[in-house]
Structure 1
Amino acid sequence: MPTQRYSYTAITLHWLIALLLAFQIALGWALEGNNSPELFARYQLHKSIGITILLLSLGRLAIRLFAQRPPASDGPVWTRTLASVVHWLFYAVMILGPITGWLVVSTARIQVPTVLYGLIPWPHLPVGRGLHEPAETIHGAMAWLAIGLFALHIAGALRHQWLLGKPELQRMIPFARGKAAGAAIGALALVLAAFLAGGMVYPDAERTAVRNSTALPVPALATPAPPAASATKEDESATAETPDAAPADTGQPLADWTVASGGRLGFTARWNGEAVNGRFDRWRAAIRFSPDELARSQIRVTVDLASADTGDGQRDDSLKGSDFFDTGAHPSAVFTARDVRHLGGDRYEARGTLDLRGVGKPATVRFTLRIDGDRARVAGTARIDRTAFGVGQGEWAATDAIAASVDIAFSFTATRPAS
């Protein structure tokens, strides 16, 4: 006798895909607004769920083609034809929707890597950018088509169950072998809940984890650098205001200092007003310095831009791309200072040039210095204008989403040869 009920595998895939589709459609409509860490995370979730739907749908199609299933319901030709069309259009939505989304991501001007659920890297399709707009149009149309198909599919199932008295729902709804009213209401409630969840989901936990894991403590004794590269009149008079202040550890000869491991070089950008903190894991400094020989002191810091770490792999890969650091063409940033000034007490200022992304601009770093024998503790800050160096191209050049000012904070210890 022919089977009267779908297999448990087919039932599981049917409802899992239905819930994911409802969630995905609502999530897709919520991908609006200004660029922000939250919106970025939602896009990553949207891509992850899309690929999940694609893989599950391919499995469901294989079962549909090769596994035994209940016979189609009898009835007029037009109803059977409509039911068949709805089913096959659903497969088109479930497969073509994710594929066109994949094409949109693969052909986007800004190439953002896809990492499924933050764990599994997913490649881009090797296609030209000419497919971007057609794929985007089709991808958007798939959402509306899915909604129409949902309505037709539900209406058809309810018609068979209660108007025609055929136990259709018992074949696909789990635990609905008897009266199907309760199971039908529960299934519809689940789909509606998935849709509402997709419109309201905010990956706060991911954002908070990034913020907390990369928070940069700004040294309390470090004076914040001014927004402009050059010093203000107040800065220039700082030494005059404290004429009797003695430099730290006077009477020391010029020496080459070696930076000890464990130092930190971090940065803070603001994305729609929200701080995004990161750090550079690889950097080195050549320091020739003495509080008594400031005129001859020199500082050179080289930063490996590819080592930028904000706690989010996709964002870090974007920073390496041509729209931001362009590490393929400009792997390093270099700050060189030969004008070191004493601001009083243990406060100093180093004026020099920052070379970033092939552009050299004046930059000022302020720091505190405490020397104990042959060991020094340094902590400082700076502020740069990313737009002056071309960091942020295209849509990222505007400062309405990502602020122009980027704060730098650093701290390290260094040693000199024993005198």
Structure 2
Amino acid sequence: MSAANTTATYGSVAKTLHWATALLILTLVPLGFIAVAWPYDTSDSLATKALLFSIHKTLGVGVFFLALARIAWALSQPRPVPLHPQRRLETTLAEGVHWALYVALVAVPLTGWVHHAATTGFAPIWWPLGQTLPFVPQSTALAEATASLHRAFVFLLLATLALHVAGALKHHLVDRDGTLARMWPGRRAPVPAAPGRRHAPAPAAAAFGIYALVGAVALLTAPGAEPRSVAATAIAAEGGATLEGAARWRVESGSLGFTVRSLGNPVTGRFAEWSAQIAFDEEADADGRHGAVEVLILVESMSLGSVTAQARGPEFFAVETHPTARFGAEIVAAEGGGYEARGTLDLVGASVPVSLPFTLAIDGDTARAAGTVTVDRRAFGMGQSYSDETTVGFAVEIAFELEARREDGAPGAGPRS
């Protein structure tokens, strides 16, 4: 059998690429649904879920490169002559379905790969290419967008695949022609000699148009982050303590995040919505206090890459029963320089003493601060069924940075991201 295509049949290269792709798709699609549905209520279950996702992602990257090779080969080869050239509509639809499959074989794994690169940790890809991609930032918004596209394209792939299989069965069982035999290994369906056909642009354009439309709809209907005004209202409803201090500071920008190890890999999360009331003076009072701070966090605004849903659940942050967290502390000078915020972190119903060291630089009425502290999740009763660090580490590093401006009297508070 010839490696190249002819006007009568497909060559061995095209057949190998076709059936290898089919085998991978028939493996990947059910594996993906199983991985999504797999429970993660215990340490062993989470490890199995991560294993399933790693296999799914790794094979998906393989499909991406295989699809590129298949498309390049198809474009370089003559196309077998239609067995029923008089059926113009049927022939055009068949070519459109083929192009839709080509687009899907690139779009589905690519959106999944970008989603993986835009988030952190959980379920690594087992390719020697690293876990990131050039020009793909680690971004919650990008990860959510590509996840929506990936889901939409998967269902579009399934619909297109169903049409492709139905067409092949129709040719084999109804028309009883040699269409299926052209692609079957070791079979050849001779047809009268005819000039090779070029790929028509209209079916390809239609396939790209369909995916563009479905992608746009997926992005427009995807559940987005809670509007900042709604989250700010939820925070404001909780109120806040009046802080003693001569100078009040309004936080103008900043970030609040945390890092935990999952299956040995660091996974970084962030809180999009939080407010802070700060009172601070460079001169300490008689008790050695430089001021005080109270931070209110909207826990529901937390994101943690691929395991966000799990982290928001009752085993960890329990956002339904504990929608907010608080950190209230006095600011004192730290040994060796800098400052410490010594107080209590109220999270998921537990109150734990925390001393947060931080650096501070004041330039006129502008202050910049940054600090980190490590806490033990077990102190808050989080992840009790994960009794060792094989799947979820005990240590959680909390980090913040912010820029604040001195106010004239009024306390500063507002959501920050």
TM-score by length of 1: 0.45
TM-score by length of 2: 0.45
